[in-house]
Amino acid sequence: MGGVTSSMAAKFAFFPPNPPSYTLEESESEEGKLRMSGVPRREGVEVTRVKTRRGNEIVAMFIKNLNLATKEVEGAGLTVLYSHGNAADLGQMYELFVELSVHLRVNLMAYDYSGYGQSSGKPSEQNTYADIEAAYRCLVDTYGICPEDIILYGQSVGSGPTLDLAVRLSHLRAVVLHSPILSGLRVMYPVKNTYWFDIYKNIDKIPLVNCPVLVIHGTADDVVDCSHGKQLWELCKEKYEPLWINGGNHCNLELFPDYIRHLKKFVSTVEKSQTTKAESSESLKLSDAPRTSSSDILVFPRKSTDQKQKSRSSTDRKEKPRKSSDRKEKPRNSIEKKEKSRTSVDSSDKGNDGEDQRLPDKPRKSIDRLIRSVGLCNIDCLKDPSSSGA
């Protein structure tokens, strides 16, 4: 029974686009460089192949922060390592990734899992763990990115490899979980315990993450219930103000103005917090306090909000919706298809001083491209697409 359930969970977890949405070709301007076909050309985008410890070769794309005014690449303080959902590849997500890099003012690396896009091998849980590890090593070894400057971002199934890597790294800047899952089995069945044959046991890993975690989930998600995101947030050590988007579904959260607004606030907060820590550390180094030994080092343990966990059964029940006093907003209309306006967006976007920090959402010329790219990623995570009649 366990083996059958595990195989079924793995079967429902991965739907690589077939055929892939892009191909790779040699760059005409730079010898030995690769470029993706079928996507707009942009300065500061590099495509490479990376070898994983399981023998596969995955495709990774590194997007450097671009100044829109000067059209020149600028250095960015932070880099996002993005793990996408289960039925998309780099070609489909390309324009969204470019928009995120621009609006968040960060570098961004994304990669295709084994068996996705032009990556070799077959998709599996263990391969995705090796895939994100290889992408991370590429950031550190090839691009010289410090671990302290990396934010891991996992969408849907991508929350699995994201959390698996996060628990193994002690100096990450932060983690973002976008429509995350408690575990593969829990998406399909309301199980109360964690079984050995389950996949992506995020519920057991999230308490071990030692950096700020932002959780974003739509309250109308009919693929991965919002309770998954809420329970994961409750189990976090370092909780950041979550974003529960009222009316948001599994694949349209980027269309809500509060999505990018809250994400920008989070990135700005974690970037400033590290600057503050660095300044504090520097002042300690300049202290005149005598040292008893050259090996004496002041180590300040990370503050933790760890609490005793409730019984596992309580984490599998859906939570009652929380009352929200936030103003209601409607998402932008998609160019790809006409959609009925969604319900209100629940975004507690207030500062600690109690003052409302929210600003009116200004129209963005590039939002059209973002909407188109989101429309391409209209996926149903962990559900067989053939059963939906699509």
| Residues taking part in catalysis | 156, 221, 250
Q: How far apart are CA 182 and CA 160, in angstroms?
A: 9
How far, rounded to the nearest angstrom, does the alpha carbon of residue 251 sit from its chain's CA centroid? Answer: 13
Rounded to whole angstroms, the Cα distance separating 160 from 197 reads 15
- SS3 state of residue 206: helix
Neighbouring residues of 281: CB distance < 8 A, sequence distance ≥ 6: none
CB 73 within 8 A of CB 65: yes
- State how far the Cα of 123 lies from the Cα of 125, in Å rounded to an integer: 7
Q: Distance (Å, rounded) from C-alpha 301 to C-alpha 308?
A: 19
Place of tokens 């699995």: 160
Does residue 213 sit in helix, strand or coil?
A: strand
User: How many separate helices (H) and strands (E) can be counted in the chain?
Assistant: 10, 12
The CA dihedral of 377, 380, 382, 387, to the nearest 10 degrees, is: -130
